[in-house]
């Protein structure tokens, strides 16, 4: 999850490093205590999550698989059984690879043929 904050910690990893450093202070006060930064409660983080979800919806509507969006946008969702498949936006049909179309046969091919097949 990417974050922005005025203190210069621009990623969740930055916050996690700071949180890990603070664990020593917390343990010095009370060895049984646990502390963490509640980033999800910050309005700027809530807005960032809403923006990532809106971006994910656009990508999903373009046929990008859910798991790929979840990974790239760091949405934090659990894996889903259908998450590796792309879907079309109309009626959410699964995308499948189709074989290459056969080359088109032009009428001119038959007109240039010297022998015409007999019918009947």
Report CA 26 to chain centroid distance, whole Å.
Answer: 36
Query: Model's pTM, two decimal places?
Result: 0.49
Q: What is the mean pLDDT of residues 36-61?
A: 87
Contacts 24+ apart (CB under 8 A), 57-64: 60/87, 61/89, 62/89, 63/87, 63/88, 63/89, 63/95
Q: Which residue has the higher pLDDT, 64 or 102?
A: 64
Residue 103's pLDDT band (cuts 50, 70, 90): low
């Amino acid at each position: 999850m990417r974050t922005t904050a005025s203190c210069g910690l621009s990623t969740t990893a930055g916050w996690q490093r700071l949180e890990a450093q603070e664990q020593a202070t917390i343990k010095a006060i009370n060895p049984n205590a646990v502390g963490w930064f509640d980033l999800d409660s910050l309005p700027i983080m809530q807005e960032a999550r809403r923006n990532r979800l809106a971006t994910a919806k656009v990508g999903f509507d373009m046929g990008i698989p859910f798991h790929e969006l979840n990974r790239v946008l760091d949405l934090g969702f659990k894996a889903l059984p259908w998450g590796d498949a792309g879907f079309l936006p109309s009626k959410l049909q699964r995308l499948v690879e189709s074989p290459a179309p056969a080359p088109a046969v032009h009428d001119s091919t038959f007109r240039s043929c010297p022998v015409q097949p007999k019918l009947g």
